[in-house]
Structure 1
């Protein structure tokens, strides 16, 4: 039996033992951007900066000691110097910012098109078994195929102009966005859906006010993954008959063994993709602030 004034659960009478979330929150108060007992991103910032500095130092050390020939791995200073040179003089008679603008337009044009088609289709696949039965097999069939495998088909069907390049990037982005939206529909609790119907909500209202908010975290994550695939496919898309773009710049420089230009182009592509990823994380915090907290 319990002592007087205590309940059978070990606490004072009329009270129960605090749950795990309560105990964690007592031990350490949460701040915006953190979950219970889990450090936020701010605490890992210095670790990230430190890891980047260590990698740069190792890169500099390897090249300074001559362990690797500059033809294979140029020094960080050589890459920076090449960047400044291309910034000032351009590459193949085209300004550097024009290369950046052309590649960015191709990737984000295909990305917006994939979102405009893939998100509604993914939601429809998650809601309707008929839509899932029709569209799921072809999406799952082509999804694992590398873009280089169907690049010849894009050229045969659509020529060597901008259409084939944008469509190639579109196909690489479309599958993860559509499948992410479909998976997001399953995040909606069936109890919430039944409660909405019991309150007199129509099917459209349930989709808008229950299913879509529940699917948003998955959709935004799928968009982040999709844009990564888009930048990955950019070099393949600019392999054929391209005269401008970051992928074209990297491929052309590799043919002439200009390793510093190749590395500089790769770093620029990674920097643009990472900046967009940071933007998507910011949008996630604003649009779905409950993500990771419930």
Structure 2
């Protein structure tokens, strides 16, 4: 038996397992692909009999599946030798299942968005009422519900920033960066938080990580310069502001930063172009 037919047999045998896992779409897809292989391959009599039996059993499983019946109430019909007709019917069934899957995905996404919005609103309300411990617990629970959502962690961090809970904001921004290290705005926000906490050396390290992803972002160097400004590292602040201006010569705030640190070093300010 060819490798293609071996694979086809394996696919048909997976139909029952996939249905037990409530996965009708992969189950139908597996049977459709297997029938395609059978149709493409010249079969000996014994192979025809074997695959007719396998396909018959798979069709019976599909017809008896409650999840599938909800989407496609028609009974699948199969007669040995009529594999092409069954394949055509399965194409129609796959279209129905895919459309249903899209709608279900939309519903799931809408539910998730609503849950996130409600959770953030609850946390915001608790913070505004100065019920900080309750807010922390509520927002932590929300974050655990969506363990891979970097944007959610950034939004939670913003709430903590507004409540001046910078340690908590730092923790969530750190998680956001680890989940999405290429999102530069997270670095800028964590830099602000670390400046508030006077953890300038840590802020510097985060900005150095950000440079890997955004070497040509003038705002990145400007915000790094703000860190150096608060840290009173005038020479480094000068260098960072010059890098920002090299990338964006009309960056007025970077010019102001440069002239401020030049003055601090006893140097002549430079005219703003």
Task: Judge same fold: TM > 0.5, yes or no.
Answer: no
TM-score range, shorter-chain basis?
under 0.3
The answer to which structure has the higher helix fraction is 2
* TM-score, length-scaled by structure 1: 0.20
* TM-score, length-scaled by structure 2: 0.22
User: Relative contact order: is structure 1 or structure 2 higher (C-alpha 8 Å, sep ≥ 6)?
Assistant: 1
